[in-house]
Amino acid sequence: MKTRVLLFALLFTGIISYAQQDAQFSQYMYNTININPAYAGSRGVLSIFALHRTQWVGLDGAPVTNAVSVNTPINDSNLGLGVSIINDKIGPTHENTISADLSYTIPTSETFKLSFGIKATANLFDLDVTRLNPVDDDPSLHDYNNKFSPNIGAGLYYHSDKGYVGLSVPNFIESNRYDDNEVRIFKEKINYYLIAGYVFDLNESVKFKPALLTKMVYGAPLQVDVSGNFMFNNKFMVGIAYRWSAALSGMVGFQVSDSLYIGYGYDRETTNLKNYNSGSHEIFLRYEIFNNIDKITTPRFF
């Protein structure tokens, strides 16, 4: 039975290698640095972020993702710098991605700024052939032990303290993980992202922020994530999100202190896949280090 479930996961991985590509996050509005390098330094402080996601709990071979990032403005310049690491496991595959981001920001008005960003990435891809249980061993599969591939990306991020719009392509270079007679186990495709969000002050203690993420990949359906989050007294956040024709999510967060914010999200599939798992869990921590001169009085909502 375990082999059948793993085979199912592998077949599904082959399908989502075009649809999902980059690691999936429900709380993308707090993890922008991984998809848009222009975000680096935009919060104006040293920001440390860590996330763990367990997807499709109960399904053998389902994705498990860990992400860690640090980004900061550079002194009093218009430059921002970021470093991120993503560890992604799906079935017999194990992928580590290390990225460095550099941004440059110019003011466009009294409230809005435009940031340009570039991303350089090193990817290590590993295929555990012992989990494939092939009838006939294929020696070429053994060549995928920590296979290295470089990549580059870029992004634009137009933002203020209240709202943002971003366009980005994290990886411009397409690559085949395995290609034998045009039969591909995994092909890295170009992912195009559009993000947007705005914070509305409903009253002195309640803020509302709708947000949007759209991802386009050639050969796959358009992915659209929409969310609505409420923040109460600049401390407690609750929200809901919908991934078009895929999943419904609930999110909560708490500003523990000026520096520390924690968040949790739960996804439930809206497709037939919901019959084979008990949902997805995502938890993150964000810790920020302020200078005395730039310490904010109210937390940023994104």
Give the C-alpha separation, 179 to 113, whole Å.
44
Q: pLDDT class for 7, splitting at 50, 70, 90? A: very low
Give the C-alpha separation, 257 to 14, whole Å.
43
Element (H, E) at 272: none
What is the mean predicted confidence (pLDDT) over 288-296? 68
Comparing CA positions, the residue from 120, 63, 129, 64 lying closest to residue 97 is: 120
pTM: 0.85
| pLDDT tens digits, one per residue of 50-95 | 999 999 999 988 999 999 999 999 988 999 999 999 999 988 888 9
Q: Is the pLDDT confidence value at 132 over 60?
A: yes
Q: Is the pLDDT confidence value at 175 over 80?
A: no
Q: What is the mean pLDDT of the chain?
A: 85
CA neighbours closer than 13 Å in the CB half-sphere of residue 32: 32
Q: pLDDT class for 256, splitting at 50, 70, 90? A: very high
| pLDDT tens digits, one per residue of 202-222 | 999 999 999 999 999 887 888
Least confident of 20-34, 71-85, 119-133, 170-184: 170-184
Query: Please, which contacts does 293-296 make with residues 24 or more away whose CB atoms are closer than 8 Å?
Result: 294/44, 294/45, 295/258, 296/44, 296/45, 296/258
Comparing CA positions, the residue from 192, 249, 240, 252 lying closest to residue 216 is: 192
pLDDT at 3: 39
Number of Cβ within 10 Å of residue 223's Cβ equals 20
Query: In this structure, are residues 55 and 42 in contact, taking their beta carbons and an 8 Å threshold?
Result: no
Q: Is the pLDDT confidence value at 191 over 80?
A: yes
pLDDT at 5: 40
Query: In this structure, are residues 52 and 11 in contact, taking their beta carbons and an 8 Å threshold?
Result: no
Q: pLDDT class for 20, splitting at 50, 70, 90? A: very low
116 CB-contact burial (10 Å; exposed 0-12 / middle 13-18 / buried 19+): middle
Pick the more confident residue, 241 or 17. 241
Virtual CA dihedral for 281, 120, 97, 264, nearest 10 degrees?
-10
| pLDDT tens digits, one per residue of 22-34 | 778 888 888 899 9
Structure tokens at 193: 């992202």
